[in-house]
């Protein structure tokens, strides 16, 4: 009998995109599947949209708002599948995505997790351009994490297919996290596996540009979650391999965090700086576009970041004002 695949969809205020997402789940060419939607206390009509698909065999669960990780955990507790496919309520699966990855893992690779091709889109999936990244390869757990963190790459949740026994060994999603909860979860999943098998042709579509997206949150709570995620990931990686290369990789993550939040949140920046020092330091440079790089060479990266913040806050039409203020700060 074919393995059962559980497609698990956390949903919060996604009525604008949920129909398209559920249709992509139903359209999977792998026939032995179950689809579970957990509506996490949506304030829009997401639950109404989801219930319209119950006639197609989709299981719909509702709960009070507790966050995406709690919704995923609830879905996993209900799931019966041999493989787990997470799918955010605004993302899409190519029709043969699940089938390709099941065939890869079922062919003697059940101790591995499968990743796949992914691309961003904003309005229509036809916009997506699938550009290979260094992560698009077979790797051991440690090599995969080093590649991800050193290069600042990512693999969004829907791109994965996880054998159930690996998901059970990794444990539940951490419900205390908000920003980068998926990074922390899949770090544990990868480390619980024998490695990552990359599945060419298994495509997913990552919707971007949503103003309410959690990944775009810049609140203090979000950054506290991001820093805690880095701490957890560091502990997990170093528990597997505590070496100069892994410590430098972890230090690089904390240094990037400092660059991202500067000049705000001095307490969090201090915590991150202490981690960088404990781990032996990092030589990673701040990232930015041509204007940021020019300013960095002219007035230093700290002042460049301050100007960048002013431009983001007030717009390019007040560039001159931002420049004068930054010069006064000097």
Q: 195 with 133, same domain?
A: yes
Q: Are residues 40 and 136 both part of a single domain?
A: yes
- Total number of domains in the chain: 3
Give the CATH number for residue 114. Answer: 3.90.550.10
Per-residue model confidence (pLDDT) at position 179: 92
Residues 266 and 306 in one domain: no
Domain assignment of residue 263, given as a range: 216-278
Structural domain ending residue among the three candidates 180, 195, 210: 210
Q: Strand pairing of 59-63 and 196-207?
A: unpaired
132 exposed, middle or buried (CB, 10 Å; 0-12, 13-18, 19+)? exposed
pTM of the full structure? 0.92
Is 283 within the bounds of a domain? no
Q: In angstroms, rounded to a whole number, what is the distance separating the alpha carbons of residues 232 and 254?
A: 12
Nearest alpha carbon to residue 14 among 22, 6, 25, 26: 22
3-state secondary structure of 200: strand
Pair 279, 247: CB distance under 8 Å: yes
Are 190 and 315 within one domain? no
Q: How much is the pLDDT for 114? A: 98
265 inside domain: yes
Supply the pLDDT for residue 213: 55
Maximum Cα interatomic distance, the chain, rounded to a whole number of Å: 71
Residue 312 resides in a domain: yes
What value does the CA radius of gyration of the chain take, rounded to a whole number of Å? 21
Same domain, 321 and 175: no
Judge whether 228 lies within some domain: yes
Of 82, 58, 66, 64, the C-alpha closest to 9 is 58
pLDDT of residue 268: 97
CA atoms of 255 and 205, how far apart (whole Å): 30
Q: Within this chain, do residues 106 and 199 fall inside the same structural domain, yes or no?
A: yes
Same domain, 49 and 87: yes
Answer whether residue 310 is part of any domain: yes
User: Which tens digit of pLDDT belongs to each residue from 20-71?
Assistant: 999 999 999 999 999 999 999 999 999 999 999 999 999 999 999 999 999 9
d(CA 224, CA 128): 32
User: What is the pLDDT, as a whole number, of residue 316?
Assistant: 56
Q: Are residues 46 and 189 in the same domain?
A: yes
Which tens digit of pLDDT belongs to each residue from 219-261?
Answer: 899 999 999 999 999 999 999 999 999 999 999 999 999 999 9
Residue numbers in the chain where pLDDT is lower than 70: 211-217, 316-330
Identify which of 59, 58, 161 has the alpha carbon closest to the alpha carbon of residue 118.
Answer: 161
Q: Are residues 247 and 186 in the same domain?
A: no
SS3 of residue 3 by DSSP: coil
Kindly give, in sequence order, each residue whose CB lies less than 8 Å from that of residue 254, ignoring residues fewer than 6 positions away: 230, 234, 272, 273, 275, 276, 279, 282
Distance CA 12, CA 247 (A): 37
């Amino acid at each position: 009998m074919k393995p059962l695949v559980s497609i698990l969809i956390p949903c919060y205020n996604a009525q604008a995109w949920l129909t398209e997402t559920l249709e992509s789940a139903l359209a999977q060419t792998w026939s032995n599947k179950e689809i579970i939607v957990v509506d996490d206390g949506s304030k829009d009509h997401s639950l109404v949209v989801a219930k319209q698909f119950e006639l197609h065999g989709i299981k719909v669960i509702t709960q009070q708002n507790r966050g995406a990780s709690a919704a995923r955990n609830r879905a996993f507790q209900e799931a019966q599948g041999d493989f787990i496919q997470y799918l955010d309520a605004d993302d899409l699966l190519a029709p043969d995505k699940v089938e390709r990855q099941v065939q890869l893992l079922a062919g003697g690779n059940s101790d591995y997790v499968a990743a796949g091709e992914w691309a961003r889109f904003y309005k229509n999936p036809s916009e997506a351009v699938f550009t290979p990244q260094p992560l698009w390869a077979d790797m051991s757990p440690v090599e995969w994490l080093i590649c991800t963190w050193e290069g600042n790459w990512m693999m969004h949740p829907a791109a994965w297919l996880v054998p159930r026994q690996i998901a059970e060994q990794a444990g539940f999603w951490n419900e205390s996290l908000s920003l980068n909860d998926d990074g922390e979860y899949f770090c544990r999943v990868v480390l619980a596996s024998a490695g990552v098998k990359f599945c060419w042709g298994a495509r997913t579509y990552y919707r971007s540009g949503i103003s309410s997206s959690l990944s775009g949150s810049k609140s203090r709570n979000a950054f506290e979650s991001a820093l805690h995620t880095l701490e957890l990931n560091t502990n997990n990686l170093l528990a597997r391999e505590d070496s100069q290369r892994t410590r430098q990789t972890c230090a690089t993550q904390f240094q990037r965090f400092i660059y991202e939040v500067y000049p705000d949140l001095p307490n969090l920046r201090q915590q991150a700086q202490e981690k960088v020092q404990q781990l032996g330091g990092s030589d990673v440079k701040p990232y930015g576009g041509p204007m940021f790089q020019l300013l960095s060479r002219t007035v230093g990266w700290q002042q460049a970041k301050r100007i960048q913040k002013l431009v983001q806050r007030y717009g390019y039409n007040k560039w001159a004002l931002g420049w004068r203020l930054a010069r006064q700060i000097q």
